[in-house]
Structure 1
């Protein structure tokens, strides 16, 4: 099965059992503290996440897969390159995973191909494929199947691949040999906790999503809390800081597929340019991208916050006064053009950005 998986672009495969009862208490406590924020579906599904056989009756085993996603163009020292983007306030930063094709589509299709290949070998069997698309404890299942261990940032970590990868699952009605879990290797390191811009990692392996920049710029639909806006900087879709600082990501692997190569326009673009996208532009440039799911309104909301932060910080500190003044003027002009936007959400964030 490992060979079949690799042919489909997966980097690793494992098998977990369906008894996740030991995870139920932690999941319940996380929900009780409201750490899921506006993600109501988390609470709605409740403990079903920890009960695979309730989600898909008849499930006996769970096949887990890992797919690395660093673009083929990634070079040594890529973490420093990404951190350097934070020093250019007028440039918009999209999380690395979202710069290519929507991973949901890529993994789901290939998971189904893997299921078909297994069926060819073993005969028809009951199954259902998932990738971040249903009440599934993905990281827990992956950890139990030997894919890695839960890092202090809650993401899965692998000694061979860091954390820059996607996870997927196939719930099956087959009793397969289970994989051996691996030991944890974070030790006393707290780099991910220390670097989080909003201190969303409240304790090792405990994330308050309500403070997480990825949640705020992607999952959260309403106004971004005022006290958190300055901390977002120029991150307009997601945040990679806790992964960039992690020592294990020196082993992060480039993707075997071209799907996750960077799209033109999503890397190194100026905020004013991205803010000028019409809804038609947004839909065209994000076709097949995970970014499309937030819609044009939230896209403008996020960029307005980043533009406000750029104005407050001054433009690129490496440039002279004339350059800074020119960039500020461009940002102000772009914001002014959206000051009367039909969306209350956009208008409110534009007004905040202009209130300097």
Structure 2
């Protein structure tokens, strides 16, 4: 058995649902696309991204000069589609974030492969998505799947509910050919996106993406974006849920999914989340990717979801949020009360306006008072 075969066999045993190998040459085509989209402003808002990073991430040999091969790996993440209970407004969390933080899971799962390569005298360096590597380009060139119009890697027989990782190694491994498939005429993902973030097939405008606003963005969410977010409070799966490739995916390895540990709720009660203090947020989400938003970001998102669901029974919970220690939460709570409308919401906003000292929150309260009316707004969820 060749080393390539051994690596693939061991990767499968470790729960990876797809593994392929490509050479360590630059990902030149993906590099050009990434640089162009950066210059067009499609990546604006991502503080950690830059044109320089696009160039660096396209070169597997940047940090590993002796690299000969790139091992591309895909690991399944839990996917659940629970019905929404009728016990009050609930939000939605993207499926990839429901288990233990995937960075930790993938790094742990790659260690036996790294050890195997190093025992044979080869250099081996791991990458997950916080490393400087064009993950999808590596996976596509290594034959794992093709890049869909929703920009996700689509793996035949598996779908896109996967997390990507790579091992750069000095070992000269047998390479795989790219998959010769496309999405054809299907554009369901482009039509389902409520914000129009998929501006062209395979091209995402980060500034319109719900996942960007609910995860990466740290500040105020623009007024025109808020109603389009619906009930998503962390990420968005719409362009994956509608994808035909995900209609009948293979059943993931149960032992692989166990690596993510206990699951958090996919549709948590929003009013319960709005009551979380710092300790409560830490206890509930410290080991999850949701931790990335920090408390203020999550509660901001919760307020927006409550405003979109528009259940006037949420007025008391939002009224409490008007006294939150974070202006970011208070301002979005005010917006949500304006969406709910009615006498109770108006009374709470008037009281908040009298005591509020933050200029932006005062503006939100004033605008919300103008929006208040006797009728509840139609739900967008």
Alignment TM class, shorter chain as reference: 0.7 to 0.9
Say whether residues 1:11 and 2:17 are aligned partners. yes
CA contact (8 A) 2:117 2:171 kept: no
Could you tell me how far apart the structure 2 residues matched to 1:287 and 1:88 are? 26
2:93 paired residue number: 94
Equivalent in the alignment of 1:324:
none
Name 1:291's counterpart in structure 2. Answer: 290
Checking the alignment, whether the CA contact within 8 Å between 2:95 and 2:266 is kept in structure 1 is no
- Does 1:333 find its partner at 2:316? yes
Corresponding position: 1:259 with 2:265: no
Aligned partner of 1:59 in structure 2 is 67
Counterpart residue number, 1:107: 106
Alignment map for 1:319-330 (pairs within 5 Å): 328-329=312-313
1:337, distance to aligned residue in structure 2 (A): 0.7
Q: Distance in 1 between matches of 2:84 and 2:148?
A: 25
Unpaired runs of 5+ residues, structure 1, are 316-327
Q: Is the 8 A contact 1:59 1:174 kept in 2?
A: yes
The alpha-carbon deviation at position 341 of structure 1 amounts to 1.9
User: Does 1:208 find its partner at 2:205?
Assistant: yes
- After TM superposition, give the deviation of residue 87 of structure 1 in Å: 11
Following superposition, the deviation at residue 59 of structure 1 comes to 2.1
Write the distance in 2 (CA, Å) between the matches of 1:65 and 1:103. 13
* 1:225 corresponds to 2:225: no
Equivalent residue of 2:156, what SS?
coil
Q: 2-side partners of 1:57 and 1:89: how far apart?
A: 56
Post-superposition offset of 1:260: 3.6
Mapped contact 2:88–2:269 kept (Cα < 8 A): no
Q: In 2, distance between residues paired with 1:292 and 1:130?
A: 21
1:172 equivalenced with 2:169 (yes/no)? yes
| Correspondent of 2:8 among 2, 9, 14 | 2
Using the TM superposition, give the Cα deviation of residue 302 of structure 1 relative to its aligned residue in structure 2, in angstroms.
0.7
Other-structure match for 1:41: 48
Query: Per the alignment, do residues 159 and 286 of structure 1 end up closer, same or farther by CA in structure 2, a change over 3 Å counting?
Result: same
Which secondary structure state, in structure 2, belongs to the residue aligned with residue 66 of structure 1? strand
Question: Could you give the per-residue CA deviations for residues 139-159 of structure 1, whole angstroms, max 9, x where no partner exists?
Answer: 010000010000001100011
Residues 210-242 of structure 1: CA deviation (Å, up to 9, x unaligned): 111111111111111110100101100010000
Q: Unpaired segments of 5 or more residues in structure 2?
A: 1-6, 340-381
Residues 149, 183 of structure 2: 8 Å contact kept: yes
For residue 124 of structure 2, the aligned residue among 118, 121, 127 is 127
- Counterpart CA distance in 1 for 2:88 and 2:183 is 32
Question: Is the Cα–Cα contact under 8 Å of residues 49 and 55 in structure 1 kept in the other structure?
Answer: no
Tell me if the contact between 2:17 and 2:74 (Cα under 8 Å) persists in the aligned partners.
Answer: yes
Q: For residues 84-142 of structure 1, give each alpha carbon's deviation from its aligned partner in whole angstroms, at most 9, with x where no partner exists.
A: 6599992110111111111110001111221112333xx22212101111121100100
| Contact 1:234-1:310 within 8 A present in 2 as well | yes
Shift, 1:244, TM fit: 0.3
Deviation for aligned residue 1:190: 0.1
Match of 2:358 in 1: none
Please identify, of 285-294 and 147-156, the stretch whose mean Cα deviation from structure 2 is larger: 285-294
Partners of 1:88 and 1:232 in 2: CA distance: 21
Larger radius of gyration between Structure 1 and Structure 2: 2
The 3-state SS of whatever aligns with 1:116 is helix
Alpha-carbon distance in 1 for matches of 2:239, 2:273: 25
Give me the CA root mean square deviation. 2.0
What TM-score comes out, normalization by structure 1 length? Answer: 0.87
For 1:147 and 1:279, how far apart are their aligned partners in 2?
41
Structure 2 residue aligned with 1:322? none
Higher relative contact order structure (alpha carbons within 8 Å, sequence separation ≥ 6): 1
Does the CA contact (< 8 Å) of 1:97 and 1:260 recur in 2? no
Match of 2:352 in 1: none
Residue correspondence of structure 1 range 266-277 to structure 2 within 5 A: 266-277=265-276
CA gap 1:51/1:125 in 2 versus in 1, 3 angstroms = same
Query: What number of residue pairs does the alignment pair up?
Result: 328
TM-score (norm 2): 0.82
